[in-house]
Amino acid sequence: MADAAAARNGIERAAILLLSLGEKDAAEVLRHLTAKDVQRLGAAMANVANVSRAEVAEVLGQFSTQVEGQTSFGLRSDEFVRNTLIDALGEERATGVLDRILTARTSKGLEALKWMEGRAIADMVRAEHPQIVAIILAYLDSEQSAEVIRHLPESLRGELLLRVATLDGIQPAALQELDQIMERQFSGTNTTRNSVLGGPKVAADIVNLLEPRIESAVMAEINQADEALGARIQDLVFVFDNLAAVDDRGMQELLRQVPSDKLLLALKAVDEGLKEKIFKNMSQRAAEMLKDDLESKGPVKLSEVEAAQKEIIVVARKLAEEGTINLGSRGGDAYV
């Protein structure tokens, strides 16, 4: 069975480990993973079955004695995944993930796209009409849509996000037809649930996850095409300066999650008010060290500062989605 264990990929091995831990401990692990990793692991957990004792021992190593009483996985695995994800993410956040995990095993239409790499989706849709691509981007999670955007031609990016922002839902029949188009791509069958797609909020969520260079170019194109809509999207985009609205407790939690080197870079281009708020929520010693590092650090590229700020924003948004911190009001007229 060692050969069987060796043939499994890393995701499958991780799924076996989580299934062996039990729902509570597995949920604790999942809390520290990204949404994308949770989806991948959840899918593997739902699919894995007939794992023998010998294979479990090979995969888990030192944990083999704890799982020796188990002869196989797969029995009631859907229920295990459901309970574990709800415990880890809360019922509301887990619902969308569960829909994907428990239906992806047979889905071949739009749902199947959610399990593909962004580059592969971009290659598949680049010849489609921009409105179709916009609907697909609105249907995917913002993180995945941002990845798709990165792999599409620059000349299309602004138009696509403009179309996403002006989407005001889609008729179920039209969505079903699009699902069937995707289904034919995969030569399979699938049914899709009705969805409300698009709008400025969806576009802003995608913009939030784009690289600063791409974000600036896309927003400039949107503003040129529709200044009012561009302003509305920008109001929904969370920028680094908006961290000033985070309360002290939330700021302290955020700072615990941010690497010191990223924070140092990010603070090279912020106003004194935000710097003081950050210093106030650190220990005196840590604040003094950071101030000294800021004074002694030479010039750095703006792109490095922007990238560091973007990484911190991603951490802040993740903590906010988990309910750990409150980001306060969103908006602002400056780019990260």
**Residue 230 and residue 128 in one domain:** yes
Q: Report residue 202: phi and psi, to 5°.
A: -65, -45
Instruction: Please give the Cα distance from 317 to 245 (Å, whole number).
Output: 13
**Residue 54 and residue 150 in one domain:** no
Condensed to tens digits (0 to 9), the pLDDT of residues 303-324 reads 888 888 888 888 887 888 778 8
Q: Which of 70, 103, 136 is the last residue of a domain?
A: 103
Residue 203 lies in domain = 110-236
**Residue 143 and residue 189 in one domain:** yes
Q: How far is CA 81 from CA 38, 75, 184, 218, in A?
A: 11, 11, 30, 38
- pLDDT for residue 149: 92
pLDDT confidence bin for 148, thresholds 50/70/90 = very high
Q: Which of 208, 236, 264 is the last residue of a domain?
A: 236
- pLDDT for residue 18: 75
Q: Which of 205-209, 262-266, 290-294 has the lowest mean pLDDT?
A: 205-209
> What CATH number has the domain bearing residue 130?
1.10.220.30
pLDDT at 5 over 70: no
Most confident stretch, 28-32, 182-186, 323-327? 323-327
Q: Is residue 331 part of a domain?
A: no
Q: Check if the beta carbon of residue 226 is closer than 8 Å to that of residue 193.
A: no
Q: Is residue 330 part of a domain?
A: no
Q: Mean of the pLDDT values across residues 50-71?
A: 54
**Residue 157 and residue 256 in one domain:** no
Q: Is residue 249 part of a domain?
A: yes
**Residue 65 and residue 141 in one domain:** no
* Residue with the larger pLDDT of the pair 205 and 62: 205
DSSP string, 104-144: TTT--SHHHHTTS-HHHHHHHHTTS-HHHHHHHHHHS-HHH
Return the structure tokens found at 188: 């399979």
- pLDDT for residue 108: 54
**Residue 159 and residue 261 in one domain:** no
- What does pLDDT average to over the chain? 75
State the virtual CA torsion across 288, 292, 293, 299 in degrees, nearest 10.
Answer: 140
Radius of gyration of the chain (CA): 22
Q: Is residue 293 part of a domain?
A: yes
> What whole-number percentage of the chain has pLDDT above 90?
7
Please, which residues have CB within 8 angstroms of residue 96's CB and are 6 or more apart in sequence? none
* Residue with the larger pLDDT of the pair 330 and 37: 37
Condensed to tens digits (0 to 9), the pLDDT of residues 79-90 reads 666 777 777 666
Instruction: Please give the Cα distance from 172 to 195 (Å, whole number).
Output: 7
DSSP 1: -
Q: Check if the beta carbon of residue 290 is closer than 8 Å to that of residue 282.
A: yes
Return the structure tokens found at 249: 């407790």
**Residue 181 and residue 134 in one domain:** yes
Instruction: Please give the Cα distance from 234 to 137 (Å, whole number).
Output: 19
Q: Is residue 146 part of a domain?
A: yes
pLDDT at 190 over 60: no
**Residue 40 and residue 151 in one domain:** no
**Residue 261 and residue 307 in one domain:** yes
Instruction: Please give the Cα distance from 315 to 306 (Å, whole number).
Output: 14
Q: Mean of the pLDDT values across residues 122-126?
A: 85
Of the candidates 93, 92, 85, the residue with the CA atom closest to the CA atom of residue 40: 85
Q: Is residue 327 part of a domain?
A: no
Q: Is residue 329 part of a domain?
A: no
**Residue 230 and residue 124 in one domain:** yes
Q: Which of 103, 129, 163 is the last residue of a domain?
A: 103
**Residue 12 and residue 94 in one domain:** yes
* Residue with the larger pLDDT of the pair 166 and 95: 166
Instruction: Please give the Cα distance from 147 to 156 (Å, whole number).
Output: 14
Instruction: Please give the Cα distance from 236 to 85 (Å, whole number).
Output: 28
pLDDT at 249 over 80: yes
Q: Mean of the pLDDT values across residues 1-28?
A: 69
- pLDDT for residue 94: 65
Q: Mean of the pLDDT values across residues 276-291?
A: 91
- pLDDT for residue 279: 92
pLDDT at 50 over 80: no
Q: Mean of the pLDDT values across residues 260-266?
A: 89
Query: Number of structural domains, the chain?
Result: 3
**Residue 88 and residue 146 in one domain:** no
Instruction: Please give the Cα distance from 205 to 168 (Å, whole number).
Output: 16
Q: Mean of the pLDDT values across residues 45-70?
A: 58
> What whole-number percentage of the chain has pLDDT above 70?
71
DSSP 75: T
Q: How far is CA 282 from CA 136, 275, 277, 287, 288, in A?
A: 43, 11, 9, 6, 9
Instruction: Please give the Cα distance from 259 to 159 (Å, whole number).
Output: 36
- pLDDT for residue 81: 67
DSSP string, 305-335: HHHHHHHHHHHHHHHHHTTSS-------SS-
pLDDT at 106 over 50: no
DSSP 270: S
Q: Is residue 272 part of a domain?
A: yes
